[in-house]
Amino acid sequence: MTGASRPHFIQDALGFYTTSYGPFVLRSAFQPIFSQEANGRLTIEAFEALIRASQGGRPVAPYEFFSRVPLEDAVTIDTLCRELHILNMGVLGRKKARLFINFNPALFDAVADIGSEIDRMVEITLSAGLIPSRIVCEITEQGSGNKAALDRLVGGLRARKFKIAVDDFGADDSDIQRVTDLNPDILKFDAEWVRRFTETHPGMALLKLSVQQFIERGITVLFEGLEEEHQITFCNEIGVQLMQGYALARPEIVPTSFGERFPEANNGEEARHSIRQLDAPPLMPSLHMPPASVSKDHGNAAPAAKSTQSFGRRTVAFGKRTL
């Protein structure tokens, strides 16, 4: 890190962490990522980490918060958010589930010592009682203008046993080359791109073929933005391995209700749940914020959350939400 001081984290009565940046209190929100067996049983495989900011006890939208972070603090805030999420994942206490955290590679173009950045992430991961292989580093769609820096970042993460995911596949013409270059463990398909393909039967056939080809290459496929049960059925029909969206579970600020709704079995295996058990409306994430006794240290932040998308038309529609 370029001269930034160590961030200060405050634990609440349950052990979960908050931090601050200027006037903003920052907390973690997690959204589950599921697999589904042929019999319809669901398993939490991972959580995607999202940042939730407040000012004076009032929630601040992610895009508004990140728009108020000056460029010189962008790398610092990127790191701060990741460290906060990793610490809270450790407190969550799941023995198997992985954590997806965002990386904007463009922020690392100016970082001279990427190795030190990654070493710091290893340190915080181990201090949280986790191992690097349970952390999935999600490379966002904002491309890096410095391929050498991106290669150093991804190579360094992989060398230290972190997993790599590519976000929003299909949103850019260069995505096939990006997958070839990064060889990710997990590929997240762009929700709008998927929607366009599902408007016709030939498109759905091509989508199924694309999913199968990536699986044959050893890449796990994830569809996000699922908002209705029939979309989950469609994912199963074409072999999608991981699913995420409001049809399954909304993001929740820690501490979440997922421990009660989706408890782990005693042997550390994730408990399995039927899609029918999710028919009750999911809880909206709590926006309660702790008292303002939070550190004023600066740290680094995840990239700005993507704008909400909602899609109409056709039988299979996908949308990506950040709330």
Closest alpha carbon to 58 in 18, 25, 19: 25
Going by pLDDT thresholds of 50, 70 and 90, the confidence category of residue 59 is very high
Residue 109 confidence (pLDDT): 63
pLDDT of the residue at 285: 34
CA distance linking residue 31 with residue 12, whole number of Å? 21
Q: How many angstroms separate the CA atoms of 278 and 134, rounded? A: 26
Residue 250 predicted with pLDDT over 90: yes
pLDDT above 90 as % of the chain: 49
Q: Each residue of 256-284: pLDDT tens digit?
A: 999 888 887 665 455 555 554 554 443 33
Amino acid 61: pLDDT = 95
Select from 3.30.70.270, 1.25.40.20, 3.20.20.450, 3.40.50.300 the CATH code of 10-278.
Answer: 3.20.20.450
Q: Is 226's pLDDT higher than 90? A: no
- 7 vs 10, more confident: 10
Positive or negative torsion for Cα 119, 125, 131, 132: negative
- Please tell me the total number of residues recorded for the chain in this structure: 323
Count of C-beta atoms within a 10 Å radius of residue 85: 29
What confidence score (pLDDT) does residue 264 get? Answer: 79
Return the CA Rg of the chain: 19
For the segment 57-79, the average pLDDT, to the nearest whole number, is: 92
Lowest-confidence region among 73-77, 110-114, 166-170, 243-247: 110-114
Q: Where are the beta strands (DSSP E) in the chain?
A: 10-11, 17-21, 24-36, 41-55, 58-60, 98-103, 135-139, 163-169, 186-189, 220-223, 242-243, 252-253, 272-274
pLDDT single digits (tens) 78-126: 999 999 999 999 999 999 999 999 987 777 665 667 888 899 999 999 9
- Rounded Cα distance, 317 and 320, in Å: 10
Query: What is the model's pLDDT at position 274?
Result: 53
Task: Label residue 255 by pLDDT band (50, 70, 90).
Answer: very high
Q: What whole-number distance in Å separates Cα of residue 268 and Cα of residue 167?
A: 28
Chain CA centroid to CA 279, Å: 24
| DSSP letters for 140-197 | -SS--S-HHHHHHHHHHHHHTT-EEEEEEETSSTTHHHHHHHH--SEEEEPHHHHHHH
Q: How large is the average pLDDT for residues 15-27?
A: 96
- The predicted-structure confidence for 165-188, as pLDDT tens digits, reads as follows 998 888 775 578 888 889 999 999
pLDDT at position 266: 61
Per-residue pLDDT tens over the stretch 128-150: 999 999 999 998 755 556 777 78
The structure's pTM equals 0.80
